Each structure stands twice: as C-alpha cells, then as structure tokens.
Amino acid sequence: MIRVRIPATTANLGPGFDCMGLALDLWNTFELHYGGDGIEVESHGEGSQGLPTDATNLIPSIMAEELGESMPKAFKIVCHNTIPVASGLGSSSTAVLAGVLFAESVKRTLAGADPSDLDRERVLARAVAVEGHGDNVAPALLGGFVIVVPDECGVLTQRVPHVPMKTVVCVPDFAYLTSQARAALPDSYSKADAIYNIGRAMLVAEALRGGDDDLLAKAMNDRIHEPYRLHAIPGALEARTAARDAGAICVSLSGAGPGMIAFAREGYDRIGRAMKNSFTSVGLSSRYWILDATDQGVHIGRLPM
Ligand code: HSE
C-alpha cells in the first residue's frame, strides 16, 4: 500500500517551451491498495466524473506498459484530485508520474525491497519518455523551478533555486487539448525567433533565481508557442493585458493552456478577477487559483496494511 502526493506544475514559463517548469502548491494524491477483484480506479474531486474506472485508466495503463508480465492482477487505485484537468496545470502529468511511481514500487515489492524508496532519476527518465517532454513531470517530481532538456542519455535536469513566488492562474471553461495545442505549432522556426527565445529563457531563469521582477517582466515573452496558441483561446489575449493592467509582473500561457498564469507580488484577487472578467466578456466562465510556487516535489509514503 503506497500513497504518492504530486504537485501541480506550470510549464514553459513563457520562452522556455518544453524546457522549463515550476511546481505549484496544489496537489493530487494517489493511493495503491493491493487486493480486490481486478483492477479498479476510484477518482474523487476535479474531473473525476469522466475518468475511466477500470484498467483503461491512464494510471494502470502506464503500469501495465512498465510492468509487462509482472503487472498485478488485483488492485485498487484511489485518486484525490484538486488540480483542474485540461487546464495547463499538469494534471495529466501527475497521473503519468503516479503510473510510473506505482510500477516502480511494484517492482521493488517483488524484489523484496522498500516500495517507497524509489530511484527518482529512473522514475524521471521513464515519466519523460511516457509524456514526451519533461517540463511538467520534472518539476512535479523534484519540486521547485526546473530546467529539463532531452539528452542523448535521457534528460539533463537542473533544479534552479528561486526566490518565493506567488502566481494567479485563471482557467477558462474552454476545451483546448495539449495535443491540439502542439499540433498548432510550426515544424521549424526562423533564426531570429530561436535567438529571441534562447536569450529570454536564460533571462527568465536568472530573474527567478535572483528575484528580479523588472527583468522577469521584460523577459517573459515568447515566439515559439504563444503566438500560435493564444489567439485560439477566446479571451486569452485580453486576459493577459487585463492581468498586466491589474498589476501582474508578467503573464503567460500556463503550459499549453488554456489556463493563463500571472506572476505577482500583490493584488492577487484583483488580478484573478481581471482575467476572469476578460473570459466572461467573451462568454466563457472561468475559475482562478492563487498559488505559491513550492519547492516540494513528489511525496511518497507507505500506508498501513
Ligand atoms: N511544454 C508543453 C507544451 C507543456 O507547451 O506543449 C504541455 O503541458
């Protein structure tokens, strides 16, 4: 019996497409209980209605792929979700990580080892392989602000210390799947756009590390993904302007969206309401969360039998 607690994440942080992510203080919790009559998944909270309750659920599917013949025949997974689904806050990445973590814990149990004492480097490599990019799973696993890039041997990861940071994330009630958002991107970019983003990604990292809000405001701009995505989300461009006018330091798409994330030092509700009003004005309902960045990553605990 094992319980994992996994934080929300915001990926990209403007110019760091697929390479930068930050863990946020909002959590999904997953429990693995052995026994029962087969494979069962019980979900509570955000998005629980539409999720498969059997072996077709993403978590046991990943476990089956990781475990092959060693897949246990009877267990129950209980999910307590507080991260909104399909929002740009890495909810599906928490499920990917849960699947990989549970598979690793089963392997360790079969080997007679402590199931909660997992090799995080191996878990990260597997989770990135399943997800296809590491900018949600890496900060979710490790906590904090993480730079993660593909490498010949897997992934190169660096956790960069950052000053405490508060964010306001506003999520419109608008279906914009990550697959759709990725399909909207071109296959190649001009040298000018590459230079624009490489420099700004470095400046965003430096601004977060040093707590330099002026630099963050100037650096958090992007030419790799936002120009191709923002116009597809009604009210997103207006929400960005409104949040800046309401005092946000900078605003970007959270991951692939549709959520927008504002970084701020004050006026959190004012910023949240400003973004919400922008979505309301185009006929979309929305919700906003005021979230601290967190240095805590995945927490793994053993449950009493
Ligand atoms: N970097 C990814 C993207 C994040 O923008 O497509 C998706 O969660």
Whose structure tokens read 């906003």? 288
pLDDT exceeds 80 at position 303: no
pLDDT at 116: 82
Cα(181) to centroid(ligand 1), Å:
8
Q: Per-residue pLDDT tens for 60-94?
A: 999 999 999 999 999 999 999 999 999 999 999 99
C-beta of residue 147 within 8 angstroms of C-beta of residue 243 = no
In a mutational test of the pocket of ligand 1, which residue from 10, 17, 19, 229 has the highest number of ligand atoms less than 8 Å from its CB? 17
Mean predicted confidence (pLDDT) in 7-31: 98
> In this structure, are residues 224 and 193 in contact, taking their beta carbons and an 8 Å threshold?
yes
Average pLDDT over residues 185-191: 98
Confidence (pTM) = 0.96
Cβ neighbours of residue 113 under 8 Å, at least 6 residues apart?
none
Q: How confident is the model at residue 24 (pLDDT cuts 50, 70, 90)?
A: very high
pLDDT at 305: 57
- Residue 218 CA to ligand 1 centre (angstroms): 22
Q: 259-279, pLDDT tens digit by residue?
A: 999 999 999 999 999 999 999
Residue type, 156: L
Q: pLDDT tens digits for 205-225?
A: 999 999 999 999 999 999 999
Kindly state the tokens that stand for 49. 């209605």
What domains can be seen in the chain, in order of their start residue?
2-161+294-302 (3.30.230.10), 166-292 (3.30.70.890)
Write down the pLDDT at residue 161: 95
pLDDT greater than 90 at residue 118 = no
Q: What is the mean pLDDT of residues 135-152?
A: 96
Q: Does residue 182 have its Cβ closer than 6 Å to ligand 1?
A: yes
Following CA atoms 260, 43, 141, 213 in sequence, which dihedral angle do they give, to the nearest 10 degrees? 20
Integer Cα distance of 187 and 193 in angstroms: 13
CA of 255 to the centre of ligand 1 (A): 5
Confidence bin at 304 (pLDDT 50/70/90): low
**Mean pLDDT of the region 183-190:** 98
